[in-house]
Amino acid sequence: MSTNLHVAIIQSDLVWENPIENRKIFTQKITAIQKKVALIVLPEMFTTGFSMHPKRFAETMTGETVIWLQKMAQEKDAAIVGSFIVIEKGNYYNRLLFVHPDGVVETYDKKHAFTLAGEDKVYATGNLVTIINYKGWKICPLICYDLRFPVWARNTQNYDVLLYVANWPMPRITAWNALLKARAIENMSYCIGVNRVGTDANGYQYSGNSIAIDCLGGEMTSVCEHEEKIIYVTLEKESLLKTRKKLGFLEDKDAFLMQ
């Protein structure tokens, strides 16, 4: 088990609906990571931006982006996580991939489609929470709009890290900042939120505000707005377990069934 988990958060602009160019850009950014890290996190829909045209850009699980992720993970000897558009059995998914350094791929399909943008009309949704076991850490990866639904993130599986990848627009960034802290506090876990910057083809602006938060709601990284940047953070397992044991809040949670 790794006592510490060293993470690189890549806060980046995205080239609208251009997977080839975005893979080139992220190749450069991942290669530029100078510190030894075990986990690299990319934004939601990192190959296209938040596109509602899945028919044009969907890939299979043996497509170019999966192959690229496996190659980069092997070269950096680090897991890489981010979401992009996948087609499977005739359905389109906003799918998060967690690619291990050895090439093993684990997935999570976004549960809550963003109806305000019509995501529910073109994408199928998932119905399973995924818990990733990596280097002695239990990681729960979720996607953007999932952040607004605390029951879905409820820590019933004793995960250590809650991870959100996002394209969260600037006008609602106050909610992003508040809800990330709430999810960390109520679940007594680390919480990492990775958001894009820039302006997409629809005119929506994104300020980033990517951040890592500890289990008491403390900010572990400085807030970074409107800037492309690689943000480094180290998660400490011993500190998390010590705080949980001392306070015991998770042991007092209510029991209920989700339907």
Catalytic residue among 44, 59, 106, 186: 44
Chain centroid to CA 231: how far? 14
Burial (CB count <10 Å: 0-12, 13-18, 19+), residue 92: middle
Closest to 135 (Cα-Cα) out of 3, 235, 1, 21: 1
Residue 11 Ramachandran class (φ > 0 left, ψ -120 to 50 alpha, else beta) = beta
With a CB cutoff of 8 Å and minimum separation 6, the contacts of 47 are 18, 19, 22, 23, 57, 65, 84, 85
Catalytic residue among 110, 111, 181, 237: 110
Say which DSSP state 135 is in. Answer: T
Q: Is 44 a catalytic residue?
A: yes
Q: Is 237 a catalytic residue?
A: no
Q: Is 224 a catalytic residue?
A: no
Hey, what are 62's tokens? 């043996």
Catalytic residue among 17, 76, 111, 144: 144
- Provide the total of helices (H) and of strands (E) in the chain, helices listed first: 7, 13
Rounded distance between C-alpha atoms, residue 102 and residue 71, angstroms: 9
| Residues involved in catalysis | 44, 110, 144
